[in-house]
Structure 1
């Protein structure tokens, strides 16, 4: 549905001018803001409140908390905040987790914060998981002219999202806090379309090839990859479909296309150990070596080679996000990485993030930040877990074999000077846990790194 039926009827009957902003299916408003590329500062949210006389709603800025005491003083009632989980009966035509704007269409009393009327336009929930409303100022005033108006919210500030791992916040908790204060990059359209194709069991090589070929840059990169010494294909490849069928395979092309397209959401400096050149070189090496190592893993552990490839490719996306959200801190990370190459990224991040605007993330690091973004983008849970835990050698839990595999890959690459930091793991113990012969792993790494040197041209294309 494009928007909740009762809301749609109310908008039509009252001739309220608005636009529908479609996006991939979102879990809640925070997720929708990210996927739609909406402006968080211009977004409002609906908060359900309740007392013994019945329910009502607050309409407040997205980056604020409800001031229920102020509402109670204004109304003379005794409202309490009601969790969205209890809203199903009131908003039966809405998707779970999406409370609609204009709740008066449901017969509810509405309290609107004064600051909403100061915006030139607003984004708000339509009650549908894949559509936001965008209303201009005149429509905002027309829609709420008969509603209660007052100062019903308190602004959030950056220090309020201080996150410490020991406090037990989940990635969902952190993601919600993060998206209220920062505009995270939405997943690029091509990446979304790749995900749609790969999630459809009936999709074909022809469909994937057509999608790749619609993007000349992506098509050229896939062809260069297929022609690299990594695969040693001696035939004359003429198009993407042939590259898929004869050399790369459907899954590898899908995963590489997803990674390449997703990385376009970021703009970073090219040079330095954390510049795009180095990050992409590491990502491609890691993807290839992690997949190659996965074939050597004890089959009983159930490691999927395609998940291994994507996990290796995306596990450092948190560094891209840091560069996007916190440019000064990112530049400092880059400088310290050069000056103190023996230090771990975790140590350097702790130092840098305690110095400036990014200090609220002092306990996160790039791994957890990357995991948050991958989760918001709807990437596989295994990739999310690897991104979150690839800096934790002692990790035990879900997808721990895949986490260990990426750690092993990073360790082997670090021996060849590839990667963003020294990697300290129990090499023998890690190999033993995965059922991999250590000598064979070292030989495989030597061979893979030598073959991957042919991908330098691809790296240059990716960052151009």
Structure 2
């Protein structure tokens, strides 16, 4: 389960609020102080210190900063006997209102405590600084520049050909066609499932999953599709598995995070539940919402595939900056976001435009296109899952205005997440069948 961390971007309003971060290496522990709204640039501290300091994992930070001694001034002062690195913007500060991201520990520290073991350098970058350093252009141009900068590839033909991503097998191409055809139905789907032994076995396994609680035994593909799963769910799960099989889940992910497929299935299931709470006249198609939820994080796998060494670095940056929106960390480390590269690949594979746009813009509240409701729905569900440790990323409150646009209440969102939490065992069984399709 993920360790929930509240976003402290609101601290940007208080220039004296400072984030304290614990790092370590073979030489021992060190502390970093920087404005709470900033990203900690690990490369800067490595260059400045000559040490390869790494963020401690979330559970270790919680254990360290939960010590009883740190509730008293004497313990807080003793903490600063460790080497301290502070951002250059804090040079003139004598007192610091410090906050620790994982525990919420907050207290006032004095520069007098650590003046003899203090080192200053440029450590932080604001989201505005990160955005300013990015070159503009359409998503494909951004992706191309990132690939050329961070790999030995030189893009001279269609991007998807150059990257060597595996193509879909014929049966999966047919599933994409069915997903995009509003007139397609079960009679079109069953022959496709029957014609792919692996897919047929998966469908039978899903139908038998405790989550769907089907009465009686499942005797055939027809039985599984017609009586238990239905057209939408079979197509969506099959597409999710097919896409997952093209790219492996990386090994060096942020520690203490939610495993990729668990997060995907939780998001998809919760999004579908919430979608069905919307009034019929504005309700998106639940099947497309489910698929968008299942694929909302797909670009994460592509980043790992394209930039293996940099993906490891990205994982460390996410651990060092748990309060910051992932898009800014990704822009800083690899110059492209998972939303950009994920939606681009889904478009090249021919998925429905609504799904592509929901994946691309589900973290962008300024988006007002055809998939606006789907994108905002994924946004709301994702934030709710984060607050229960069922998805990765900083905890952020969802504005009432967004819920009003969707004609939903917070109770609708909370009810869906409660259902997911109570069904984790059954959903994890489904995740197990998906992972063993690889």
Q: Distance in 2 between matches of 1:210 and 1:370?
A: 29
Q: Deviations over 1:250-296 (max 9, x none)?
A: 12111111111122111233563499981111111111111111111
Q: Kindly indicate whether the alpha-carbon contact (under 8 Å) linking 2:383 and 2:395 is maintained by their aligned counterparts in 1.
A: yes
Which shows bigger deviation, 413-422 or 169-178? Answer: 169-178
Q: Kindly indicate whether the alpha-carbon contact (under 8 Å) linking 1:281 and 1:459 is maintained by their aligned counterparts in 2.
A: yes
Higher relative contact order (CA 8 A, sep 6+): 2
Residue of structure 2 equivalent to 1:256? 237
Q: Which stretches in structure 2 are left out of the alignment for 5+ residues? A: 1-131, 145-156
1:405 is the counterpart of 2:386: no
Q: Secondary structure at the match of 1:230?
A: helix
The structure with the largest alpha-carbon Rg is 1
Q: Distance in 1 between matches of 2:255 and 2:341?
A: 16
Name the CA shift for 1:368/1:238 in 2 (closer, same or farther; >3 Å).
same
Q: TM (normalized to structure 1)?
A: 0.56
Q: Where does 1:420-431 land on structure 2 (aligned, <5 Å)?
A: 420-431=392-403
Q: Kindly indicate whether the alpha-carbon contact (under 8 Å) linking 1:251 and 1:306 is maintained by their aligned counterparts in 2.
A: yes
Q: From 358, 361, 365, give the equivalent of 1:386.
A: 358
Residue of structure 1 equivalent to 2:390? 418
Aligned residues: 293
Residue of structure 1 equivalent to 2:215? 234
Q: Distance in 1 between matches of 2:281 and 2:141?
A: 31
Q: Distance in 2 between matches of 1:188 and 1:172?
A: 28
Residue of structure 1 equivalent to 2:422? 450
Which shows bigger deviation, 278-287 or 234-243? Answer: 234-243
Q: Kindly indicate whether the alpha-carbon contact (under 8 Å) linking 1:293 and 1:441 is maintained by their aligned counterparts in 2.
A: yes
Q: Kindly indicate whether the alpha-carbon contact (under 8 Å) linking 2:258 and 2:392 is maintained by their aligned counterparts in 1.
A: no
Name the CA shift for 1:197/1:402 in 2 (closer, same or farther; >3 Å).
closer
Q: Distance in 1 between matches of 2:294 and 2:276?
A: 17
Name the CA shift for 1:431/1:453 in 2 (closer, same or farther; >3 Å).
farther
Q: Kindly indicate whether the alpha-carbon contact (under 8 Å) linking 1:431 and 1:437 is maintained by their aligned counterparts in 2.
A: yes
Q: Which stretches in structure 1 are left out of the alignment for 5+ residues? A: 1-162, 354-361
1:169 is the counterpart of 2:138: yes
- 1:172 deviation in Å? 8.6
Q: Distance in 1 between matches of 2:239 and 2:255?
A: 21
- 1:409 deviation in Å? 1.1
Q: Distance in 1 between matches of 2:255 and 2:165?
A: 20
Name the CA shift for 1:228/1:452 in 2 (closer, same or farther; >3 Å).
farther
Q: From 333, 357, 373, give the equivalent of 2:345.
A: 373
Q: Distance in 1 between matches of 2:255 and 2:377?
A: 22
- 1:445 deviation in Å? 1.4
- 1:390 deviation in Å? 1.6
Q: Kindly indicate whether the alpha-carbon contact (under 8 Å) linking 1:270 and 1:277 is maintained by their aligned counterparts in 2.
A: no
Q: Secondary structure at the match of 1:316?
A: coil
CA-based RMSD: 3.1
- 1:245 deviation in Å? 1.0
Q: TM (normalized to structure 2)?
A: 0.60
Q: Secondary structure at the match of 1:301?
A: coil
Q: Distance in 2 between matches of 1:165 and 1:298?
A: 40
Residue of structure 1 equivalent to 2:268? 287
Q: Deviations over 1:18-54 (max 9, x none)?
A: xxxxxxxxxxxxxxxxxxxxxxxxxxxxxxxxxxxxx
Q: Where does 1:27-176 land on structure 2 (aligned, <5 Å)?
A: 167-169=136-138
Q: Distance in 1 between matches of 2:299 and 2:389?
A: 21
Q: Distance in 2 between matches of 1:332 and 1:272?
A: 10
Q: Secondary structure at the match of 2:212?
A: coil
Residue of structure 1 equivalent to 2:287? 306
Q: Distance in 1 between matches of 2:216 and 2:319?
A: 42
Q: Distance in 1 between matches of 2:353 and 2:391?
A: 24
Q: Distance in 2 between matches of 1:182 and 1:320?
A: 14
Residue of structure 2 equivalent to 1:333? 314
Q: Secondary structure at the match of 2:259?
A: helix
- 1:456 deviation in Å? 1.6
Residue of structure 2 equivalent to 1:320? 301
Name the CA shift for 1:351/1:430 in 2 (closer, same or farther; >3 Å).
same
Q: Secondary structure at the match of 1:393?
A: coil
Q: Distance in 2 between matches of 1:201 and 1:351?
A: 40
Q: Kindly indicate whether the alpha-carbon contact (under 8 Å) linking 1:225 and 1:455 is maintained by their aligned counterparts in 2.
A: no
Q: Distance in 1 between matches of 2:174 and 2:285?
A: 23
Q: Distance in 2 between matches of 1:308 and 1:265?
A: 22
Q: Deviations over 1:295-322 (max 9, x none)?
A: 1113332411111111111111111111
Q: Distance in 1 between matches of 2:377 and 2:394?
A: 16
Q: Secondary structure at the match of 2:216?
A: coil
Q: Distance in 2 between matches of 1:277 and 1:178?
A: 30
